[in-house]
Structure 1
């Protein structure tokens, strides 16, 4: 049995990782969950000044899922500086202290934004592609990756980097939750003519890969992309999500260029780009190197998400 330190255990992804680790028989330390009578310290924030030594004794693996996350409408004056404090300085402080105390493996939950924002038809991102982050969040994740790779070369600690695409599942928030709300209410949406391709990853599939990487020997010092291994258009996603919710999909066939032009006029260009453009990933390396397949098919993962959404609405 491993002793795993998990950051971000109160978050959307972190809560699911914690449940899976416990079911897998791992002993888990959660620095952001204060527990009575614990002899471990409690960490309420993460930056370059955070001291982790009191938590890392005996730990064999760190799963670092905590982060300052991407937001569409940023409000701070210098977003990159704020992202760096948590995502770069905080990550590298934790990793440096982990290596010093003999932690064997550090799993870093990065982002597909390290690769870039969009792909052209038939040219999915791979883990071997040159990184091309465009926003402050993606840049901070890429800088953290570089620091971790340097640390892995200088110490005996393995580093595993996982770059998820859009994650959905029970408890999902932000734009995916908004989409389900609109579909459930039956409002017509002008998204019935989109022929893009998007890779998504269900929460169960992402967590399954993370837990596998805790002790898989082939994962050492690798970068993995992860998805459901089925790419669909935004229109198809809406249709299949509506079906999972038991609702008709009322989609109007508005051309993509009209949507993007209109969105730009009202300051929603970023939202329209996410809806209309493509972002695909090739997970061939992840499957072959780890002998891994996503355990939950896309439609099944959508049904799980829809069931949770509807149950929460009834409470």
Structure 2
């Protein structure tokens, strides 16, 4: 099997590329990214190029599978229209070209952020991305378009992807000594380890599965609990204060991404992953606490991989 991976220089690719190259059924992996992919393996070939570049058709030609990881996650100072052009229009153009060139397995790395909030949500739950969180809205837009024009594509919806290589923002959230002061019962969240997402990609390459699949580790946690496990003297902040701090950081430095994601700390978001278990045969190796511990160590660790 020949597999094309976009976003090959990104963080998640550091887990996905080794998993692909170690798989006996994969004979070649072609990686594409604007930055030069640093990964090295006899099965891997890297291409530094834009997704809409003139060489893309040649790179897709003869491939058996496409794994689309490339996406702008944190907007920073990027214009919203530019971010959408990359995330939405770029993704849909890529899938159309892959379909036209006969790439049989087409996999889109979406996100549980498309749901916005809810408990034990399965894949039929309606989309309700958080207001002001462009990343989630763009994932939802791509999914809706693929469902209409490429229903054979497989769409993975992982919860927050954590692990040693995860987004610095997630590490910073776990490591900092503040949490949002909310009434009990605390909103429940989940996550999924990057290596377990990589194994879901492997599982998605074979068989005839299509459509959406939730991915989350077993168990759940509250943001307050996750922070307190790391800081004995963790300090509560009001939701309004958290909004102001993140908004100020974004306006002054472009850091932290758009402040809309902060609202997600105040609502539960947990997933039902039965479909991934039964149709993909996917089972996460890490539970939520073990995945968090692999990202930022806990005091007296709770979970086990």
Verify the 8 A CA contact 1:41 1:55 in the aligned structure 2. no
Q: Hey, what's the Cα distance between the residues in 2 that align with 1:271 and 1:147?
A: 23
**Aligned twin of 2:219:** 230
SS at match of 1:225: strand
User: Which structure 1 residue ranges, 4+ long, deviate > 6 Å from structure 2?
Assistant: none
The answer on 1:175 being equivalent to 2:169 is: yes
- Where structure 2 has 5 or more consecutive residues not aligned to the other structure, the ranges are 248-258, 298-305
Aligned length: 275
Mapped partners of 1:274, 1:203: distance in 2? 21
* TM-score, scaled to structure 1: 0.76
Q: 1:190 to 1:65 in 2, by over 3 A?
A: closer
- What TM-score do the two structures reach when normalised by structure 2? 0.78
Aligned residue number for residue 301 of structure 1: 291
3-state DSSP of counterpart to 1:69:
coil
Give the Cα separation in 2 of the matches to 1:54 and 1:82.
Answer: 26
Name the CA distance, whole Å, in 2 between partners of 1:172 and 1:114. Answer: 19
- Using a 3 Å threshold, how does the CA distance of structure 1 residues 190 and 113 change in structure 2: closer, same or farther? closer
- Rg comparison, structure with higher value: 1
Q: Say whether 1:249 aligns with 2:232.
A: yes
1:244-293 per-residue CA deviation (whole Å, 9 max, x = no partner) reads xxxx53324x4xxx611333455646465343332222212222222322
Match of 1:12 in 2: 11
Report which of the two has the higher share of strand: 2
CA contact (8 A) 1:160 1:223 kept: yes
Matched-pair contact (CA < 8 Å) for 2:65–2:105: yes
- Show the counterpart of 2:87: 87
* Structure 1 spans left out of the alignment, 5+ residues: 183-187, 243-247, 308-315
TM-superposed CA distance for 1:18, in Å, is: 0.3
Q: Secondary structure at the match of 2:106?
A: strand
3-state SS, counterpart of residue 179 of structure 1: helix
RMSD: 2.9
The structure 1 residue matched to 2:242, chosen from 258, 263, 279, is 263
User: Do residues 29 (structure 1) and 20 (structure 2) align?
Assistant: no
